[in-house]
Chain A
Amino acid sequence: MTERAVTIPINGEGRQLLIPENRTLLEVLREDLEMTGTKHGCDLGECGACTVLLDGLPVLSCLVLAREVDGRSVTTVEGLAGDAGPDELQTAFAELGAAQCGYCTPGMLLSARALLDENPAPTTGEVREALAGNLCRCTGYVKIIDAVRLAASRSPE
Chain B
Amino acid sequence: MTETPFSVIGRRLPRLDAVDQTTGRIRYADDLTLPGMLVGRQLASTHAHALITSIDTSRAEALEGVRAVLTGADLPITYGILPISQDENVFAVDRVRYVGEPVAGVAAVDRETAERALDLIDVQYEPLDEVVTLDQAFDDDRPLIHGEGFGKNVHRSAALEFGDVEEGFASADHIREDIFSFGGTTHAALETHAALASYGTDGRLTLRSSTQIPHYLHRALEKVLEMPPERIRVIATPVGGGFGGKTDPFSHEIAAAKLSMVTGQPVKITLTREEVFYTHRGRHPVLMWLKTGFRSDGRITALHFTTFLDGGAYGSYGIATLYYTGALQTSTYRIPNYRFEGVRVFTNKPPCGAKRGNGTPQPRFALECHLDKAAHDLGIDPVAIRLRNVVKPFSMTVNHLRITSCALTECIERVIEASGFSGKYGQLPEGRGVGFAIGAYMSGAGLPIYWNDMPQSEVEVTVDDSGHVTVRSMATDIGQGSTSMLGGIVAECLGLEPDDLTMVTADTDLTPIDLGSYSSRVTFMAGNAALEAGVRVRSRVVAAVADELGVNPGDLVARGGRIELADEPGSGTTWSEAVRCTVAATGRPLIESGSYRPPELAGPYRGSGVGISPAYSYSACVVEIDCDRDTGMVKVEQVWLAHDVGKALNPMLVEGQIEGGVYMGLSEALFEEHAFRGGLHRGPSLLDYKMPTTLEMPPVECIIVESDDPEGPFGAKEVGQGPLLPVIPAVANAIHDALGVRIDETPFTPDKIVAGLVDLSRGGTGRVGPKAVPDFKFPPLTRVEPPEGFDAR
Chain A residues packing against B (C-beta within 8 Å): 30, 34-44, 46-47, 49, 76-78, 80-81, 86, 89-91, 93-97, 99-106, 109, 127-129, 131-145
| Contact residues of B between 257 and 276, Cβ < 8 Å to A | 272-273
B21 cross-chain contacts in A, Cβ below 8 A: 93-94, 99, 102, 105
7 more contacts with CB within 8 A, not counting A94-B21, A101-B478, are A46-B686, A77-B22, A80-B23, A93-B22, A96-B652, A102-B17, A102-B26
User: Does the CB pair A143–B240 fall under 8 Å?
Assistant: no
User: Does the CB pair A142–B22 fall under 8 Å?
Assistant: no
* Interface residue range, chain B: 35 or more
A20 CB to nearest chain B CB (Å): 9
Whole-angstrom distance between the alpha carbons of A44 and B689 in the complex? 14
Decide yes or no: A104 and B190 within 8 Å by CB, A42-B685, A132-B695 being known contacts: yes
User: Does the CB pair B662–A140 fall under 8 Å?
Assistant: yes
User: Does the CB pair B273–A97 fall under 8 Å?
Assistant: no
Whole-angstrom distance between the alpha carbons of A138 and B189 in the complex? 8
| Contact residues of B between 119 and 168, Cβ < 8 Å to A | none
Q: List 28 A-B contacts (CB under 8 A).
A: A41-B190, A46-B685, A46-B686, A46-B687, A47-B190, A76-B24, A77-B23, A80-B23, A90-B23, A94-B21, A94-B22, A99-B21, A102-B26, A102-B238, A103-B189, A103-B190, A103-B240, A105-B21, A128-B694, A135-B190, A135-B693, A136-B190, A137-B189, A138-B241, A138-B660, A140-B663, A140-B664, A143-B655
B691 cross-chain contacts in A, Cβ below 8 A: 135, 137
User: Given A36, A86, A100, A133, which contacts B693 in the complex, CB threshold below 8 Å?
Assistant: A133
User: Given B12, B30, B659, which contacts A142 in the complex, CB threshold below 8 Å?
Assistant: B659
Whole-angstrom distance between the alpha carbons of A38 and B25 in the complex? 10
Instruction: List the 6 closest A-B pairs by CB distance, nearest first.
Output: A37-B24, A101-B479, A140-B663, A103-B240, A102-B21, A94-B18
User: Does the CB pair A43–B273 fall under 8 Å?
Assistant: yes
User: Given B22, B241, B660, which contacts A103 in the complex, CB threshold below 8 Å?
Assistant: B241
B interface majority secondary structure: loop
User: Given A43, A46, A101, A141, which contacts B241 in the complex, CB threshold below 8 Å?
Assistant: A101
User: Does the CB pair B697–A142 fall under 8 Å?
Assistant: yes
**Which of B22, B33, B191, B695: most chain A Cβ within 10 A?**
B22
B501 interface residue (CB < 8 Å to A): no
User: Does the CB pair B24–A140 fall under 8 Å?
Assistant: no
Q: Which B-chain residue is minimally distant from A78 (CB atoms)?
A: B24
Whole-angstrom distance between the alpha carbons of A41 and B30 in the complex? 11
User: Given B17, B33, B663, B700, which contacts A34 in the complex, CB threshold below 8 Å?
Assistant: B33
**Which of A77, A94, A95, A97: most chain B Cβ within 10 A?**
A97
Decide yes or no: A137 and B23 within 8 Å by CB, A100-B480, A100-B660 being known contacts: no
B265 CB to nearest chain A CB (Å): 17
B28 interface residue (CB < 8 Å to A): yes
User: Does the CB pair B479–A100 fall under 8 Å?
Assistant: yes
Whole-angstrom distance between the alpha carbons of A97 and B664 in the complex? 18
B324 interface residue (CB < 8 Å to A): no
User: Does the CB pair B28–A103 fall under 8 Å?
Assistant: yes
User: Does the CB pair B694–A137 fall under 8 Å?
Assistant: no
Whole-angstrom distance between the alpha carbons of A129 and B687 in the complex? 18
B668 CB to nearest chain A CB (Å): 12
A93 cross-chain contacts in B, Cβ below 8 A: 18, 21-22
Whole-angstrom distance between the alpha carbons of A41 and B699 in the complex? 26
Whole-angstrom distance between the alpha carbons of A137 and B478 in the complex? 12
Whole-angstrom distance between the alpha carbons of A41 and B13 in the complex? 28
B24 cross-chain contacts in A, Cβ below 8 A: 35-38, 76-78, 106
B656 interface residue (CB < 8 Å to A): yes
Whole-angstrom distance between the alpha carbons of A136 and B696 in the complex? 12
Decide yes or no: A127 and B192 within 8 Å by CB, A102-B240, A109-B22 being known contacts: no
User: Does the CB pair A101–B272 fall under 8 Å?
Assistant: no
User: Given B18, B478, B480, B686, which contacts A42 in the complex, CB threshold below 8 Å?
Assistant: B686
Whole-angstrom distance between the alpha carbons of A94 and B14 in the complex? 6
Decide yes or no: A97 and B656 within 8 Å by CB, A36-B27, A78-B23, A140-B697 being known contacts: yes
User: Does the CB pair B479–A142 fall under 8 Å?
Assistant: no
B266 CB to nearest chain A CB (Å): 15
B243 cross-chain contacts in A, Cβ below 8 A: 137
Whole-angstrom distance between the alpha carbons of A96 and B650 in the complex? 12
User: Does the CB pair A101–B238 fall under 8 Å?
Assistant: yes
B788 interface residue (CB < 8 Å to A): no
A103 cross-chain contacts in B, Cβ below 8 A: 28, 189-191, 240-241, 479
Q: Which B-chain residue is minimally distant from A106 (CB atoms)?
A: B24
B299 interface residue (CB < 8 Å to A): no
User: Does the CB pair B663–A101 fall under 8 Å?
Assistant: no
B272 cross-chain contacts in A, Cβ below 8 A: 43
User: Does the CB pair A138–B479 fall under 8 Å?
Assistant: yes
B478 cross-chain contacts in A, Cβ below 8 A: 101
B369 interface residue (CB < 8 Å to A): no
B242 cross-chain contacts in A, Cβ below 8 A: 101
**Which of A46, A99, A134: most chain B Cβ within 10 A?**
A99
B191 cross-chain contacts in A, Cβ below 8 A: 39, 41, 101, 103
B479 cross-chain contacts in A, Cβ below 8 A: 100-103, 138
Whole-angstrom distance between the alpha carbons of A43 and B190 in the complex? 12
User: Does the CB pair B22–A86 fall under 8 Å?
Assistant: yes
User: Given A37, A133, A137, A144, which contacts B190 in the complex, CB threshold below 8 Å?
Assistant: A137
User: Does the CB pair A141–B697 fall under 8 Å?
Assistant: yes
A96 cross-chain contacts in B, Cβ below 8 A: 652
B659 cross-chain contacts in A, Cβ below 8 A: 139-140, 142-143
Decide yes or no: A131 and B190 within 8 Å by CB, A44-B273, A140-B660 being known contacts: no
Whole-angstrom distance between the alpha carbons of A46 and B663 in the complex? 19
B26 cross-chain contacts in A, Cβ below 8 A: 102
B183 interface residue (CB < 8 Å to A): no
A148 CB to nearest chain B CB (Å): 10
B18 cross-chain contacts in A, Cβ below 8 A: 93-95, 97, 99
A136 CB to nearest chain B CB (Å): 7
B584 interface residue (CB < 8 Å to A): no
Whole-angstrom distance between the alpha carbons of A134 and B697 in the complex? 13
Decide yes or no: A129 and B660 within 8 Å by CB, A101-B238, A102-B479 being known contacts: no
